[in-house]
């Protein structure tokens, strides 16, 4: 690479990927007085965090809610000037459903409700209560989520609680996901307290002192104009520091920093940067040539498995939906053999999601359960989804709105062995000083995780920045 002529101006940090992790990191670096340039191959920022509005309907391409698990998130919202637009989900919509026997059954939220629920058999309830007496698992054994749940709670709880939950969060298969990597807090609770029940009781004080809220109890947030408002606000604050349609093709480390080759074929340029943060999806980063020593490479990032998912947002007249839609949504266990992974009742959660007299439903198709359906035609997906909604929610009539987004690389799968993948990321940072990696391929797949990862990695980079790098 041949760099531009040397400049005495401080070299900014290069951030590869204008998803929420990269944008948040750039914003926090700016707050700490450190310049950055965000390179994004696509024509718009935000990745899957994108909102579409049409004729009174509002549709999200990706996530539908932001879980307020940390006070850092509320501070970020305030710093971005979004507090006036921030919405908390309707408390009346806290009810969740799981399908059993072809119909949505409310998930109990109390001990009495648990004892009475038809969601689980009497034997399954006894098995769950017996968890308190079961021994701690072996620390040296790598378990799948399914093996852990069977061991501690029983097969029926796996089938009708954890399987649909994993399908809804990861679009994944609990028989393949690593407990330690996909749900580290469950692993930590058993390691520390032996029992999940004991962990809930004895760990309550520690959770209060940390100021953090478990995801299952965290307030669900959005904005008047959808989660895309986060991306819009971040881009507005960063201004021309965000360069769209500008892919990064190569990185070369030298004695004083990094040379970054950017731009489309035929228009490439080499830019000097002080440090590099890689925050694009792993399968994209794998295409970048890295020249930073004999043990440094990015090609192996392409080995990470992703689940393909289609998000299908449908609008209906309220009278065409029999279900009261009095909750967050419904998850569907694999044993029910339905065609969709789940459905969110968007217009019950937040206002301004559907015009008066109408409702909005967001359905998820594909994942590890049926990857071929995620990539099927719109006609096939629509027919399949309408049939499922008819059976589950009593939906009839033609949809009054349709918005479809296909994510071929939707969610990275933290399978057995993912711990080794994370360890390789750490070793790469060690052999290539000034290079950092963050995002949903490393720090957790939820929108919350990605935002917190951006804040954290920016703080770490700011703490180690050389004085000449600061603005």
CATH assignment at residue 71: 3.90.660.20
pLDDT average, residue stretch 366-380: 97
Half-sphere exposure of 320 (CA within 13 A, CB side): 18
Regarding whether 164 and 71 lie in a shared domain, the answer is no
Of the listed ranges 2-11, 45-54, 446-455, the least confidently predicted one is 2-11
Residue 216 pLDDT > 90, yes or no?
no
Do 439 and 292 sit in the same domain of this protein?
Answer: yes
State whether 300 and 280 are in the same domain: yes
42 and 169 both lie in a single domain: no
Helix (H) or strand (E) holding 386: helix 378-393
Q: Is residue 218 part of a domain?
A: no
Backbone φ and ψ of 423, nearest 5°: -65, -35
Where is the domain boundary, 412, 439, 454? Answer: 412
Of 126-140, 346-360, 420-434, which gets the smallest average pLDDT? 126-140
pLDDT at 309: 98
Instruction: Tell me if 328 is assigned to some domain.
Output: yes
> Is 292 among the domain residues?
yes
Would you state the pLDDT for residue 10? 63
Q: For residue 1, what pLDDT band results from cuts at 50, 70 and 90?
A: low
Q: Are residues 430 and 299 in the same domain?
A: yes
Q: Which two tokens stand for residue 18?
A: 């204008």
Q: Are residues 252 and 286 in the same domain?
A: yes
Residue recorded with tokens 């940067």 = 273
Give the integer Cα–Cα distance in Å for 25 and 33.
12
Q: Give the chain's mean pLDDT.
A: 93
Q: What value does the mean pLDDT take over residues 287-301?
A: 93
Same domain, 313 and 298: no
Q: Residue 140 belongs to a domain with what CATH number?
A: 1.10.3110.10
Write the DSSP assignment of 145-168 as a string of letters.
Answer: HHHHHHHHT-HHHIIIIIHHHHHH
d(CA 125, CA 113): 12
- Per-position DSSP letters for 407-433, written without gaps between them: EEEEEE--BTTHHHHHHHHHHHHHHST
Element (H, E) at 37: strand 36-39
Q: 236-293 pLDDT, tens per residue?
A: 999 999 999 999 999 999 988 999 999 988 889 999 999 999 999 999 999 999 999 8
- Contact between 62 and 312 under an 8 Å Cβ cutoff? The reply is no
Least confident piece of the model among 44-48, 132-136, 174-178: 132-136
Other C-beta atoms closer than 10 Å to the C-beta of 23 total: 31
* Residues 22/16, Cβ–Cβ less than 8 Å: yes
User: 8 in a domain, yes or no?
Assistant: no
Question: Has residue 467 got a pLDDT over 90?
Answer: no
Inform me whether the pLDDT recorded for 448 exceeds 80. Answer: yes
Same domain as 250, residue 378:
no
Q: What is the pLDDT of residues 5-43, one digit of tens each?
A: 444 556 899 999 999 999 999 999 999 999 999 999 999
**Structural domain ending residue among the three candidates 146, 181, 213:** 213
Q: Structural domain of residue 64, as residue ranges?
A: 51-92+305-412
Same domain, 408 and 309: yes
Pair 260, 207 in one domain: no
Q: For residue 455, give both structure tokens.
A: 């804040």
> Does 51 score more than 70 pLDDT?
yes
CATH code of 285's domain? 3.50.50.60
DSSP state of 323: S
Average pLDDT over residues 117-142: 91
262 within a domain of the structure (yes/no): yes
38 belongs to a structural domain: yes
- Report the share of the chain in percent with pLDDT over 70: 95
243 and 294 in a common domain: yes
Domain count, the chain: 3
368, part of any domain: yes
Average pLDDT over residues 163-175: 97
Q: Are 273 and 186 members of one domain?
A: no
Query: Does the residue 115 lie in any domain?
Result: no
pLDDT value of position 210? 67
Which of 412, 435, 461 is the C-terminal boundary of a domain?
Answer: 412
Return the structure tokens found at 395: 């939906």
Given a cut of 80, whether residue 204 has pLDDT beyond it is no
Q: Which two tokens stand for residue 184?
A: 């580290």
């Amino acid at each position: 690479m041949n760099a531009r002529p040397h400049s005495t101006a401080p070299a900014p940090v290069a951030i590869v990927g204008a998803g929420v992790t990269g944008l948040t990191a750039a914003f926090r670096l700016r707050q700490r007085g450190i310049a950055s340039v965000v390179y994004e191959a696509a024509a718009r920022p935000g990745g899957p965090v994108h909102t579409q509005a049409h004729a009174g309907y509002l549709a999200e391409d990706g996530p539908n809610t932001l879980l307020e698990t940390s006070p850092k998130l509320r501070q970020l919202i305030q710093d971005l000037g979004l507090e006036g637009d921030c919405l908390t989900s309707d408390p009346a919509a806290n009810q969740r459903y799981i399908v059993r026997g072809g119909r949505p059954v409310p998930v109990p939220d109390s001990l009495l409700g648990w004892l009475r629920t038809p969601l689980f058999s009497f034997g399954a309830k006894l098995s769950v209560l017996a968890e308190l007496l079961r021994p701690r698992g072996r620390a040296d054994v790598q378990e799948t989520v399914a093996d852990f749940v069977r061991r501690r709670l029983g097969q029926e709880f796996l089938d009708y609680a954890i399987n649909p939950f994993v399908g809804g969060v990861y679009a994944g298969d609990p028989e393949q996901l690593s407990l330690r990597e996909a749900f580290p807090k469950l692993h930590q609770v058993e390691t520390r307290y032996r029992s999940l029940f004991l962990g809930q009781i004895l760990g309550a004080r520690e959770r209060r002192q940390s100021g953090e809220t478990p995801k299952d109890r965290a307030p669900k947030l959005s904005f008047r104009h959808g989660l895309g408002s986060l991306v819009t606000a971040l881009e507005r604050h960063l201004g021309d520091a965000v360069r769209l349609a500008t892919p990064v093709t190569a990185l070369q480390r030298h004695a004083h920093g990094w040379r970054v080759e950017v731009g489309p074929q035929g228009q490439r340029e080499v830019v000097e940067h002080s440090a590099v943060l890689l925050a694009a999806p792993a399968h994209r980063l794998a295409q970048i040539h890295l020249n930073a020593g004999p043990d440094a490479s990015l090609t192996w990032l392409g080995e990470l498995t992703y689940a393909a998912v289609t998000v299908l947002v449908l609008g209906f007249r309220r009278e065409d939906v029999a279900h009261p839609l009095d909750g967050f949504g419904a998850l569907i266990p694999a044993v029910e053999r339905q065609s969709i992974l789940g459905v969110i009742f968007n217009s019950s959660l937040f206002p301004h999601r559907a015009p008066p007299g109408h409702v909005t439903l967001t359905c998820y198709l594909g994942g590890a359960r049926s990857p071929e359906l995620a990539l099927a035609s719109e006609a096939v997906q629509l027919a399949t989804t309408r049939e499922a909604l008819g059976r589950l929610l009593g939906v009839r009539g033609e949809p009054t709105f349709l918005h479809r987004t296909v994510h071929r690389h939707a969610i990275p799968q933290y399978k057995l062995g993912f711990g080794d993948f994370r360890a390789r990321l750490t070793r790469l940072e060690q052999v290539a000083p000034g290079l950092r990696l963050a995002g949903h391929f490393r720090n957790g797949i939820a929108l919350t995780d990605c935002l917190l990862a951006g804040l954290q990695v920016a703080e770490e980079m700011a703490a180690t920045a050389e004085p000449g790098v600061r603005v």
